[in-house]
Structures are given as C-alpha cells and as structure tokens.
Amino acid sequence: MLEPQSTPLFLLLMLVFGGLVVCAVLAKQPVFRLLAACLAFVPAMLFGVAAVNKYYGYYETWSAVVADFTSRGVQSIPQISAAGAGSARQFNQILGNSINSQRAARTGAVIGVKTTGITSRLTRDVLIYLPPQYFQKQYARYRFPALELIHGQPGEPEDWLAALDVQTTMQSLIAEHLVDPAVLVMPDVNGGRKISLQCVNQVGGPADDNFVALDVPRYVAARIRVQAPGPAWGIAGYSEGGYCAANLALRHPQQFGFAGVMSGYFQPMFNRVEYKHTIRSVDPFRHDAALRRQNSPIDMLRDLPAGSRIPQFWVAAARAVRVDVLNAIAFVALLRVQDPATPLTITPNGAHNAVAWRSMILPMLEWMTPRLAQAAAAQSCQACVVPATGAAAPTAPTPSPSATLHRPLARPSQGPARGRATPPVAATRPAALGVGHPLGTALHASG
C-alpha cells in the first residue's frame, strides 16, 4: 500500500524523479527539456515532505491527511463562541445548538472554546472531547472524570486530534469496554506553535502554570458535567507536555489525582518567547536557583517531605531514545519511594515522535481512566463505601450490582473484556466503579 510513510511510496517518487531527469537530459526539444526539469521538482518536493512526515510520524494514512486538510479535520470543530459567559445550563443550550446530539451520542464530539484565565489573565483556545456517554440519557446526571492533555513543542492542541488521533482511540476503547468514559481537555499551553513556555509561571512573563493547572480545570468544571478539580482529574502529555504533566501534578496535587508522562523530561529548560517578531530563548526563572528547583520534578521528589500526598504516575518512553529512557528510569525510581507500584512502560515503537506517542496513548488510557472513574465515584458519593475490588455495595444509595464494571487491565490481544452495564440515572452517580484492581496495580514494561 502506498501510505504516506510506506517504502513503496518513496521508491515511486524516486523513480518518477529519475524518469523526469532522464527526459530533461535526453529530450531534443528545449521546451520538453524545460517542462521535464520543472516537473522533476514535484516528486522531489513530495519526497522531502514525505521524509519529514516519516521522521515525525505525523500522518500514517491518506485518510488522516484528507481529514486534516478538509472539513472533516480539526478545521470543522465547532467553536462555542459564547462559552465564556453564563451558567452551565446556558452552556448546554449553546452546545445543543452547535452539534448534532444524536450523532454525538454514538461517536462523541469535539468542541472548541476560548477562555481567559481568572488567575493568569491569559486568553487561549481549548479543545474538549466529550465521549458518547456525555450525550446519552442514562448519563444525564453523571459528572465525568476529566483528563487534561498537554501537547509538545512545536505543537498545538489540534495535534492530539490530527497527529495522535486520541479521540478515535478513546471512542474505540470505550466501545470495546477497555476504558471508562472521560472528558478530554486539550488547552493551548504556549499561545503559538513556535513558542515554548513549559507550563511555568515565567518571572515577568506569562503565568502559564496558573492557566493550565488552575484556570482551565476551573473553567471546564463550571460548564461541563465533570468532577471538580481534584482526585478525579488527570493530566498527561508528551515531550514538553510530559514535563508539564509531571511538574504541574507535583506542584498542584490538590488539582490532579493522576499523571501520565510520555517521553518527558524532568528539569526545566529555557523558554522560547516572541520578542519584537523574533523568537528568543530566556531563562523563565531569571537565574533564581530556588525557583528553578521548585519547578524541577526530579528535585521536588528528592525534597518531598515524608508522608506527602502526590498523584499516581504512569511513565513511558521509547526504547530507541536512550536519554528519554534514562530520564524515565530515574524519575520512576524516585516515584517508587512513594509508590512502589508506579508503572514504567518502554515501547519498542517509534522514537521521540508521534509513532511512539500513539503507541503509548492506549495503555495510558487503560491505566488511568478506571482509576479516574473510581475517584469520581468516591468524590460523587461521599456517603458510599467504594470497595477497591469494584464490587458494588448492596444497599442504597450505592449503584446496583448490575451497574458495576469488572474487566481486566489488559490490551485487546490479552483477553476479552467483560461488558459494561447501563448506568443508573441517580444524580452524579458513576456509570461504573472502575476496574477490579487495586489502584496501585502496575503495568509491565512492554518490549
């Protein structure tokens, strides 16, 4: 198949280029020589584009290319322009007028909003994926857990959809009963594709930490049917976004219960900011060693007081990138002082690119969403006793046994998952209490 990253495509482009060069050399008429020489630039240019695409692992199929450059791609995401004002009820009315609710109940929906942070005063775009269950009647009063996804640099929130296809992965895993439904929140954390703010509060600059960790969860929780920021919120990211997830989870344990780090680093670098239409590298802490240490996940774990509560972590790296693997091993070693069951996944797929991150998303969602669902159950039903095994308690006001989910924390190839029952309609009642494993259960490193 001549897919965007396939070897036959590269061979075909080379053959076409070679044929046109031969025609340019052998043609007797000057006009044909000129025409062949001009046409030779087309396969040469396409070869370069394909090589870049293969290196970064961006598009794997032509359907992904078509979707990204037509109305079926991220350009078609409905923008909820009035999302900044009014109550949750008004937001729901605007949402109902912006999307096809019947289709969304089958496939889920992605919407775009623009928010200005109360604490950061930053105005940024945020993409939100609402799972199919969000639009189904039996979930009408259920408050979903939420997962904030942080993109890398260069990057933007649309990369989670166009390059990593997280919404399709989430939809498929929900349909196969391998994950629990959750709302995915994808903010623009840099304000520009070439800018790098690392989700920190830059001295004398943007308060990006406040925007990502405080303003975005607060904004979403006030308008979307999700749990309040806390144990039922997760944060995850790749590359620079992996650093963001690790740093913000440790700095704001009251905001997040779980964190996923994919190919991340654990000590801050210099920011890249725009100054007079040029990009400059700046120290976000202005040489303040104490402030830098307070934003270094490695140092924070080393300085952590005994008995401190921190979120549970899932960490992954690609085997092909030695520095990513060593960073992950060192970070997990410190995490295991607090939680010996902290998982570390080393994937044989890809490198520091989208190929690796796509392979990490599935196990990360399988690990995190059941735990988020359990946290949501506990947060919604303070009077209920939520057993660690996922078995429902037999008396009211807990869900009936038929509403309890039992399934393994495994990939599809490792065995079939058991079915999911229809959730009750009780107020803020979880559809399921999550997987029947203790929260400390670890995944084995792959590869």
Residue 145 belongs to domain with CATH number: 3.40.50.1820
Which of the residue ranges 222-236, 336-350, 389-403 would you say has the lowest mean pLDDT?
A: 389-403
435 pLDDT band (50/70/90 cuts)? very low
Q: Record the tokens describing residue 81, joined without a space.
A: 């322009």
Within-domain flag for 171: yes
Q: Which of 379, 408, 432 is the last residue of a domain?
A: 379
Is pLDDT of 430 > 50?
no
Q: Are residue 51 and residue 79 in the same domain, yes or no?
A: no
| Cα–Cα distance, 418 to 432 (Å, whole number) | 13
Q: Are residue 159 and residue 11 in the same domain, yes or no?
A: no
What sign does the CA torsion over 62, 64, 65, 70 have? positive
Q: Are residue 45 and residue 80 in the same domain, yes or no?
A: no
Is pLDDT of 399 > 50?
no
Q: Are residue 129 and residue 267 in the same domain, yes or no?
A: yes
**Which of these, 404, 372, 402, lies nearest to 387 by C-alpha position?**
404
Is pLDDT of 58 > 90?
no
| Cα–Cα distance, 170 to 181 (Å, whole number) | 8
Is pLDDT of 438 > 60?
no
Q: Are residue 197 and residue 313 in the same domain, yes or no?
A: yes
Within-domain flag for 257: yes
Q: What is the pLDDT of residues 110-134, one digit of tens each?
A: 999 999 999 999 999 999 999 999 9
234 pLDDT band (50/70/90 cuts)? very high
Domain that holds residue 30: 7-56
Contact 314, 260 (CB under 8 A): yes
The beta strands (E) that lie in 32-182 are given as 109-116, 123-130, 146-150
pLDDT confidence of residue 96? 78
Q: Are residue 32 and residue 124 in the same domain, yes or no?
A: no
Longest CA span, the chain:
91
26 pLDDT band (50/70/90 cuts)? confident
Instruction: Provide the mean pLDDT of the chain.
Output: 81
Q: Are residue 263 and residue 117 in the same domain, yes or no?
A: yes
Q: What is the pLDDT of residues 352-378, one digit of tens each?
A: 999 999 999 999 999 999 999 999 999
Is pLDDT of 394 > 80?
no
**Which of these, 326, 362, 152, lies nearest to 239 by C-alpha position?**
152
Q: Which of the residue ranges 57-61, 144-148, 275-279 has the most confident prediction, judged by mean pLDDT?
A: 144-148
Q: Which residues contact 42 (CB under 8 A, 6 or more apart)?
A: none
Is pLDDT of 175 > 70?
yes
| Cα–Cα distance, 171 to 179 (Å, whole number) | 9
pLDDT confidence of residue 423? 44
Is pLDDT of 426 > 90?
no
pLDDT confidence of residue 117? 93
74 pLDDT band (50/70/90 cuts)? low
67 pLDDT band (50/70/90 cuts)? low
Q: Are residue 35 and residue 83 in the same domain, yes or no?
A: no
Within-domain flag for 305: yes
> Other CB atoms closer than 10 Å to residue 34's CB: what's the count?
12
Q: Are residue 119 and residue 35 in the same domain, yes or no?
A: no
Within-domain flag for 290: yes
Within-domain flag for 389: no
Q: Which residues contact 245 (CB under 8 A, 6 or more apart)?
A: 150, 235, 236, 237, 259, 260, 261, 264
Within-domain flag for 335: yes
Contacts 24+ apart (CB under 8 A), 304-312: 304/338, 308/253, 308/338, 309/253, 310/249, 310/250, 310/253, 310/338, 311/234, 311/249, 311/250, 311/253, 311/256, 311/257, 311/258, 311/259, 312/257, 312/258, 312/259, 312/339, 312/342, 312/371, 312/439, 312/440
pLDDT confidence of residue 404? 30
Q: Are residue 317 and residue 199 in the same domain, yes or no?
A: yes
Q: Record the tokens describing residue 95, joined without a space.
A: 């949402």
**Which of these, 266, 292, 267, 270, lies nearest to 283 by C-alpha position?**
270
Q: Work out the average pLDDT over 271-296.
A: 91
Q: Are residue 85 and residue 14 in the same domain, yes or no?
A: no
| Cα–Cα distance, 177 to 173 (Å, whole number) | 6
Classify residue 304 as exposed, middle or buried by CB count within 10 Å of its CB (0-12, 13-18, 19+). middle
DSSP string, 252-290: -TTTEEEEEEES--SS---EEEEETTEEEEE-TTTT-HH
pLDDT confidence of residue 387? 43
Is pLDDT of 293 > 90?
yes
Within-domain flag for 195: yes
Classify residue 5 as exposed, middle or buried by CB count within 10 Å of its CB (0-12, 13-18, 19+). middle
274 pLDDT band (50/70/90 cuts)? confident
50 pLDDT band (50/70/90 cuts)? confident
Q: Which residue has the higher pLDDT, 269 or 422?
A: 269
Q: Which residues contact 208 (CB under 8 A, 6 or more apart)?
A: 120, 122, 189, 190, 197, 198, 199, 200, 201, 202
Within-domain flag for 430: no
Give the DSSP letter of residue 205: S
163 pLDDT band (50/70/90 cuts)? confident
Q: Which of 379, 396, 429 is the last residue of a domain?
A: 379
Q: Which of 379, 406, 421 is the last residue of a domain?
A: 379
Classify residue 414 as exposed, middle or buried by CB count within 10 Å of its CB (0-12, 13-18, 19+). exposed
Before 145, cis peptide (omega within 30)? no
Q: Work out the average pLDDT over 274-292.
A: 90
Number of domains in the chain: 2
Q: Are residue 127 and residue 276 in the same domain, yes or no?
A: yes
Work out the percent of the chain whose per-residue pLDDT is above 70.
78
Contact 307, 314 (CB under 8 A): no
What sign does the CA torsion over 252, 256, 261, 262 have? negative
pLDDT confidence of residue 85? 53
